[in-house]
Amino acid sequence: MALQKEIDSNRNKLHYIVKTILFLAVQDIPLRGKTGQRAVLNNVLNFRAEAGDEVLRYNLITAAKNAKYISHRIQNEIINISCEILREKIVWRVNKAKYFSVLADETANISGLKSLSIGFRFVECNDANKYYMDVKSIAHAIVENEQKWG
């Protein structure tokens, strides 16, 4: 019973942090600044706590530093898991679509490094949708596939 209470408490703490990270990501706002005090995520979480989010405020004040769930590693894990969930949903929608196409596009940045973008275009309820799934440097993609396929 005590273990389940702790699990529920940790999920509740994480819920507000995940929602804040996803909000910043959707708005295309970086999570980090040059220092921890200047990090946007920390500032937004502190703002939410000051604005009345008692669960978040309690977590930020009382939790041990390693139990606040706001380290760079945790931020990266949340972003990676969210991306994976989003990709799975897009693939599910593509698989349900009657028509779809695979998109591949090569672009180069200002330094000439070439990248390969992979995406899908599909029709769903008479609406055309286009989502890019991944971008990799072409050299990295070749090496990765060469190692994979021998």
**Average pLDDT of each block of 10 consecutive residues along the chain (150 residues)?**
85 89 90 75 91 88 83 91 92 92 86 85 91 76 73
73 lies in which domain range? 2-83
* 80-96: b (≥16 Cβ within 10 Å) or e: eeeeeeeeeebeeebee
Last residue of a domain, one of 30, 49, 83: 83
51 and 112 share a domain? no
User: If we measure between CA atoms, which residue out of 75, 74, 73, 45 comes closest to residue 60?
Assistant: 45
64 and 105 share a domain? no
Read off the pTM. Answer: 0.74
User: If we measure between CA atoms, which residue out of 116, 28, 107, 24 comes closest to residue 70?
Assistant: 24
Q: Give me the number of domains the chain comprises.
A: 2
